[in-house]
A and B are shown apart, each in its own frame.
Chain A
């Protein structure tokens, strides 16, 4: 009884739609976390949801009294770069600060969408935040984007990486979790609160299912698979190009692209035309979205995965963890979380070096022993990143967060008052206060 009373109450904000990978992550992690604390899941999504045994609170309408959050010891926000899943969440996070799990390195599309949509035209908010976080350069590109004087920032991967806007999600946070140490280090440079990097887990359930489906009917060709939303960032057109350009690869591999194409219809059309042009020489299929069972079957048939995100805009990759579970090598760039895995757990080449990617791909196709060694090591690494260790890491973050909350609350109060006075970093007081806080909070 007393244990029950003393257990921490956690409100876990997340997308829960079956279309959301973050939703899937949430049900796995909260199931472990619920062994250590009282957890309820808050979502603004409409059903169908990922299945969970925990209480689910829908908060998109006015039916829920958000004041109950005052009685939760910890609030955790799972932030990603997708407005329909994370827009409401951001509004709540502003009122009820909590620990923010950053699932993406870039949240520019979320916030640009929030401030620039037809229903909520706040272009000045967009310009102001770009100035606040990135100075004059940020303000300039924001203005020019809005005035049509340049390609909008939000349409260019390199630009959104330069102006990721994740700062907006953490500005009043009580703790931050990333899935990449590089990202955590970057955030520590500009934010005082506790920042931790936790490995995105490879779900037990996924490992077990892989064991059950781990068969590969031989059909003569090496099966290469790319999984996930089909968009230019995954560089699928480059992979098609390098297969088509190499006679041996063209003859020996079958390349499957599986995943939804929402939002990038032009790209997918171009991709299909590209494949058609080479259809007499290559074996490539673009399948679009597939049900979970079918997806798993496709992945089980793979000999290797290609996951060449460039530039990398995610904190980590749930699909990468899933691919590692299949004990198949993953060809990836040395960027983001991909660059932080042990050297022998993936087949990694320098970010953006497609020539080297082609060489490595060919070597993997030719060398089954190398494929097996990398694949087995990858699975071993993935198995060590499980939900239990993630939940334990989170508890540690929560403890740090609770320790830091009084100081962070005070910083927020000062920031709020300075905001009312419209004082910003153009006045000396800003740096003086920042310096004072820096000294006090690091004592």
Chain B
């Protein structure tokens, strides 16, 4: 089958969606299909530009393609007779983020009309899609709540999960992620002030801005945690990441209202590590079940208690980690299933 994966791209910006598109491309070819990634430029600032890109997507034609797999707004507006959607994002600014501090879209008459236009367009054009999969339950629920469309969850697997491993359960917790306010590394650092045992925390990732790094470092300095919290403020290699994962007692991952469970969670599970997260972390909870394969806690102090508990009971960490690995099979998170669903 000739499959076009349709996605957005802001030039020179890469994130999880771009990575997933590339993985899907490579896996489709591995499974014997022909695949191309079609990337549509997308800019949403100023807000009026959103409409330009929506309209542009409607005028893209994909001849010589048997199946389109569309991933994101507004790329999923590209017309094709045989289009399935593996939805990673709608334009959340006009849906669940509207009216929240994360709206980041002008609350003006023009902003309101563009919001109406996006919703109307989703409402109309998603009818063209033959089948909708979402990368998480929360994305599916949102699609159903705001637009009334049904969907099935199709969890994205890691590209090379067999390279994740576990070699020990040492005394540190690992928090690998881009350092930014939304990921809340500063909350994890603050929790360390309440940890009574010997547990340490390793935070690794590229700071999004200098202020994001300052926010974390100021918490560390404020509580005198320099010896207990290590920050690696840069991109770490896959090998470094897997090594740090392999030796950790568990993983801390605290994104706010994340759409999906996040690769961090999945990498942790493949490495047989329990994941500690917060109750408002969104899609992470689709994998993490409190007391079964990790901990879901309510705030800094509970986070500290959870780290203390796992730090004091290695057997508990091992048992939750084993359950984490089994969770992946139970939820059928595999490329076999992804390719089957997207090409059937």
Contacts and interface: CB of A to CB of B under 8 A. Distances in A.
A413 interface: yes
Interface in B29-52: 48, 51-52
A421 B59 contact: no
Nearest to B57: A417
A417 B55 contact: yes
B298 interface: no
Interface stretch (B98-106, B118-126, B144-152, B263-271): B118-126
A429 B51 contact: yes
Given A418-B55, A428-B110, A423 B117 contact: yes
Question: Chain B interface secondary structure, helix, strand, loop or mixed?
Answer: helix
B89 interface: no
A156 interface: no
Contact of B124 (A420, A429, A433): A420
A88 to B, nearest CB: 27
Interface in A407-440: 413-414, 417-418, 420-423, 426-429, 433
Contacts of B124: 420-421
A433 B59 CA distance: 14
A414 B113 contact: no
B214 to A, nearest CB: 38
Interface string A303-330: 0000000000000000000000000000
Contact of A421 (B51, B109, B110): B51
Nearest to B125: A420
A391 B121 CA distance: 44
Contacts of A420: 120-121, 124-125
A421 B54 contact: yes
B110 A427 contact: yes
B110 to A, nearest CB: 7
B114 A427 contact: yes
Contacts of B54: 421
B51 A423 contact: yes
B215 interface: no
Contacts of B116: 422
Contacts of B55: 414, 417-418, 421, 429, 433
A418 B56 CA distance: 11
B52 A421 contact: no
B121 A429 contact: no
A427 B125 contact: no
B120 A421 contact: yes
Interface residues of A, number: 13
B142 to A, nearest CB: 20
Contacts of A414: 55
Nearest to B118: A421
Interface residues of B, number: 18
B48 A429 contact: yes
Interface string B110-143: 1001101110110011000000000000000000
B184 interface: no
Given A417-B58, A427-B114, A428-B110, A422 B51 contact: no
Contacts of A429: 48, 51-52, 55
A428 B117 contact: no
Nearest to A410: B59
Contacts of B118: 421
Contacts of B120: 420-422
A414 B51 CA distance: 12
Given A420-B120, A422-B117, A427 B58 contact: no
Given A414-B55, A417-B58, A418-B55, A426 B121 contact: no
Given A414-B55, A418-B55, A422-B116, A427 B121 contact: no
Contacts of A433: 55
Contacts of B59: 413, 417
Contacts of A417: 55, 58-59
A414 B58 CA distance: 9
Nearest to B55: A417
Interface string A373-397: 0000000000000000000000000
Nearest to A418: B55
Interface in B184-232: none
B105 to A, nearest CB: 14
A426 B58 contact: no
Nearest to B120: A422
A421 B113 contact: no
Given A420-B125, A421-B117, A421-B121, A428 B58 contact: no
A83 to B, nearest CB: 30
A413 B55 CA distance: 10
Contacts of B109: 426
Nearest to B48: A428
Nearest to B121: A421
A418 B117 CA distance: 9
Nearest to B52: A429
Interface in A313-349: none
Interface in B274-323: none
Contacts of A427: 48, 51, 110, 113-114, 117
Nearest to A422: B120
Nearest to A427: B113
A417 B120 CA distance: 11
A433 B52 CA distance: 9
A427 B48 CA distance: 8
Contacts of B117: 421-423, 427
A407 to B, nearest CB: 14
A426 B113 CA distance: 8
Contacts of A423: 51, 113, 117
A418 to B, nearest CB: 7
15 contacts: A413-B59, A417-B55, A420-B121, A420-B124, A421-B51, A421-B117, A421-B124, A422-B117, A422-B120, A423-B113, A426-B113, A427-B51, A427-B114, A428-B48, A429-B48
Interface of A: 413-414, 417-418, 420-423, 426-429, 433
Given A421-B54, A423-B113, A427-B117, 9 more contacts: A414-B55, A420-B121, A421-B55, A422-B116, A422-B117, A422-B121, A427-B114, A428-B48, A429-B51
The 8 A-B residue pairs with the shortest CB-CB distance, nearest first, are A422-B120, A421-B121, A420-B124, A421-B117, A429-B51, A417-B58, A423-B117, A427-B113
